[in-house]
Amino acid sequence: MEIDDAELKSACEHLGADFEILRGKKCPYCKGETKYVDSSLVYGRSYGMMYLCEPCDAYVGVHHKTSKESLGSVAKGELRNWRKQAHAAFDPIAYERRKNWNRREAYSWLRKKMGIPKALCHIGMFSVNRCKKVIEICKKTPWNE
Ligand SMILES: [Zn+2]
């Protein structure tokens, strides 16, 4: 789902979260400014643009290859791996359209289960613990409950 900047800003103000970090512009590890670079810098071939903190080896992709809209905050290897696993658990629920759910409904279900506001319910913003929770929640899909 696309991130709504206005909603996110307001949620950050309420919760004391750092908008620049959640947007991938600032590194949560060293608090330095990230760089908007081509992903070939990391992968050797290009999959589009990304935000990167080189000293921390932390990065995050963008919504569309050339967009400036990050998928969330930059992450180091372990967290990137957990986010991948959370997506692997959740994406079938969001995209397989069982129960005739669309993505909006799938995300709405997820955020109620997670108990977090809409603006912050993006796997690209999640910590390792939140990713683990996503995986746990998705094991109990509504059609299996
Ligand atoms: Zn850093």
Q: Distances in Å between the alpha carbon of 123 and those of 41, 99, 144?
A: 24, 22, 22
- What residue ranges do the domains of the chain occupy? 19-61, 77-140
31-69: pLDDT as tens digits: 999 999 999 999 999 999 999 999 999 999 999 888 899
Ligand 1 center to 42 CA (angstroms): 15
Helices 103-114, 128-139: crossing angle, 10 deg rounding: 110
Position 49 scores a pLDDT of 96
Ligand 1 center to 111 CA (angstroms): 28
State how far the Cα of 29 lies from the Cα of 121, in Å rounded to an integer. 21
- What mean pLDDT value characterizes the chain? 92
pLDDT reading at 144 higher than 70: no
Ligand 1 center to 106 CA (angstroms): 33
Higher pLDDT, 15 or 145: 15
> How deeply is 38 buried, as exposed, middle or buried, from its count of CB atoms within 10 A (0-12, 13-18, 19+)?
middle
**Phi and psi for 53 in degrees, rounded to 5?**
-110, 105
pTM: 0.91
Position 145 scores a pLDDT of 60
State how far the Cα of 79 lies from the Cα of 123, in Å rounded to an integer. 11
